Structure 1
Amino acid sequence: MGLVSAFALFASTQFGVAQEVKVPYVKEAAAQARIAHALTEGSPYDIGAQRFAELVDVYTRGEVNFKIFPNAQLGLEQATAKDTQLGLLEASLVAINNATQWYPPLDVTLLPFIFRDREHVNKVIYGDIGKDLFEGYREASGMRIVSVLEWGDRGIMNNVRPIAKVEDLSGIKLRLPKNSTMIDTYSALGANPTAIDWGELYSALQQGVADGLEGPPQGMIDMKFTDFLEYYSYVPVFHGLAVILVNDAWFQALSEENQQAVLKAGREAGEYQRWISAKSHVSGLSKLAELGVEVNVVEDVEPFIEATKEIYESNRDRIGAEWIERVQKAGLEE
């Protein structure tokens, strides 16, 4: 039966009951999978996850189906990453700082001011550096990075004072993820960093356990930190990447055709999400101001760069000098 005949029969009825006719191009769902993330529905994270799931459905013609669990329904990021490694969960979308524990070279992406701009990011993640780095990660962790999204340029939000110069960070209790590179960076800048789980952060800020945190403008709005934090200072110490991790054994069990479909969907979803995120950075600063937050943009970041140079030296052996050099030079040789 041809395509025309199949579609013509789709709406036919027998005894008044609609009869479904299978269209061979549309496949039965053979691989059901879950993808977890910790942010709110409608956030740039969630938009990226939705795009990934939709494209996987398209490119596998319905054979692989992802269901999304936002708002930390399946656990906080480090927990879902661990569950993905163990095969208890098929996939997890996490900030890259919650994925590096299995492979220290991945921390190269978290060195302060390592990226010049988003074009530099693209050169790294889509070139030989990203290919080599992510393959090393797969071998070390048993998880495959199938998409690179972003949390974005992470400015500083707090309720003590605006941050215009390095000295303004002195003594501020700043929440950082449980990542030594990030914690050491803000220690070098004079802050008093404290590692607090994301799920406990809202109450920690309310109770004064921390004076603030670092993150992108839209992320501060999505999490309603504007309810009690007064100042947002845009100094992008980190460009926060995020990754979709899939259990590699689960991935390898897919057909070769579906493996390529998942990778294609991941690449395209990442590009789309990072564009949405970039636009949210542009609009996010004005939205913060509209919500009553005092916003300032730090124009001269050189003193911040100078103050954090020691982080490169102290992490050179752990991360690998060759990775640092490769990332720093990416795009400059062209």
Structure 2
Amino acid sequence: MTGRIAAVAAAIAIAVAGVASAHADDYVQTPQKTFRLAHGNAPGSPYDLGANRFAELVEVYSRGAMKVDVYPAAQLGGEQAVAKDVQLGVIDMTAVPTQNASMWYKPMDVFVLPFLFKDRFHVDAVVEGPIGEELFEEYREASGVRVISVFEYGNRAPMNNVRPITTPADFAGIKFRVPKNDIMVDAYQALGANPTAIDWGDLYGALQQGVADGLEGPPQNMIDAKFFDFLKYYSYVDPFFGVVIMIMNDDIFNSLTEEEQAIILRAGSEAGQYQRWVSAKSHVDGMERLKEKGVEVNIVEDRQPFMDAVKPVVDKYKAEIGSELVDNVMAAGN
């Protein structure tokens, strides 16, 4: 009798498991569409955390029918090259700083103007408000790529192996790596540095070989990339705030169903808010963590001399970008 009871119990268990499995299979789908998302930063960086949060949310909201594979650390190429591959549809998506993605539409360089943003509330007001909505739509029409999320690099400050920066004169003669963007090159020239445009993927070797004496970026980025191994001075004067856009090939986006498009946009919005928060938190104690790595950190209290030095650059590019747009962005911070 005991054997019969055991056999019946086993049969019931198998049947219940089969029903549960069937119900799970109805809800949890296998990937029907897979996308490649590339970015240039290290695994575990705020960039990467945001990209992986996006991938996770796409999977959740599609119940597994859509899958995003994340390729960090410039595995698929340098930032500008990958952005162009997204435009061509070779790669589906990438997260790229605006200075490396403005080549198709000059007004996007508004995000690159030095000393533009007052704080992160100002940034949010622009990228999440009507200014950002209109600008990103114009960018889509001009470029063929769609902005599906907004990340941040955060406050970008100079780090080098020559000397601390306390006044613009301290920039003299230092070879600073800057992104391949005319505004950033001109701004560092105006500050007295010798800027050299080097792709992010080639930067570590360039610093090791002395092609560049330093670079600019947020403290977390310096830690993630281990630049403290050979750069010893971090000076917190931050001409630039790094706005990063996640872009997707527009033809690929338009090939999706309305439900799939909504999933991409929802996941992008939520992942962007998450990433900007993670990045902001990493700034809070970032300079203390740099000190723990042996870096000499100084905070520049008087930024006005630096702002005065780059004013001709701002005036020059304001005309190219569009005076009304620049004024509207500045007013959004009031």
Calculate the TM-score normalised by the size of structure 2: 0.93
Deviations 1:269-299 (A, max 9, x none): 1111111111111121011100100001111
Q: How do residues 113-262 of structure 1 correspond to structure 2 at under 5 angstroms?
A: 113-262=115-264
Tell me how far apart the structure 1 counterparts of residues 103 and 272 of structure 2 sit (CA, whole Å).
Answer: 22
Structure 2 CA distance for aligned equivalents of residues 275 and 52 of structure 1: 14
Q: Quote the Cα distance in structure 2 between the aligned partners of 1:237 and 1:104.
A: 20
- In the other structure, the counterpart of 1:12 is 18
Q: How far has the Cα of 1:300 moved from its partner?
A: 1.2
CA distance in 2, matches of 1:111, 1:159: 26
State the shift of 1:9 in Å.
Answer: 6.0
Displacement of 1:63 in angstroms is: 2.2
**Residues in 2 aligned to 1:177 and 1:10: alpha-carbon distance in whole angstroms:** 59
Q: Is the 8 A contact 1:36 1:92 kept in 2?
A: yes
The answer on whether the counterparts of 2:36 and 2:91 sit within 8 Å (CA) in structure 1 is yes
Please show how residues 2-41 of structure 1 align to structure 2 within 5 Å. Answer: 11-12=17-18, 23-41=25-43
Matched residue type, 1:142: G
- Secondary structure, counterpart of 1:194 in structure 2: strand
Q: Give me the whole-angstrom Cα distance separating, in 2, the residues matched to 1:26 and 1:45.
A: 28
Structure 1 residue runs of 5 or longer lacking an equivalent are 1-7
Give SS of 1:57's match: helix
Q: CA deviation at 1:30?
A: 2.1
Q: Deviations over 1:149-208 (max 9, x none)?
A: 011100110011000111111111110010001111111111111111212211211121
Judge conservation of contact 1:10–1:21 (CA < 8 Å) in 2: no
Q: Identity, % of aligned pairs?
A: 56
CA RMSD of aligned residues (A): 1.6
2:312 match: 310
* Structure number with higher helix proportion: 2
- Opposite residue 328 of structure 2, the aligned amino acid is R
Structure 2 contact 146–250 (Cα < 8 Å) conserved: yes
Larger Rg: 2
Work out the CA distance in 2 between the residues paired with 1:210 and 1:247.
34
Q: Which amino acid aligns with 2:152?
A: E
User: How does 1:249-328 map onto structure 2 within 5 Å?
Assistant: 249-328=251-330
Between the two proteins, the alignment pairs up a number of residues equal to 321
In 1: Cα distance, 2:28 partner to 2:231 partner: 50
SS of the counterpart of 1:239?
Answer: strand
Change (3 A) 1:51 1:9: farther
**Matched residues in 1 for 2:79 and 2:314: separation?**
26
Q: Does the 8 Å contact 2:117/2:333 carry over to 1?
A: no
Measure the CA separation in 1 of the matches of 2:121 and 2:51: 22
Quick one: structure 1 residues 154 and 10, their matched pair in 2 at CA, closer, same or farther if it must change by over 3 Å?
A: farther
| 1:9–1:21 contact (8 Å) kept in structure 2 | no
Cα displacement (A) at 1:331: 3.9
Tell me which residue corresponds to 1:5: none
Any unmatched runs of 5+ in structure 2? 1-13
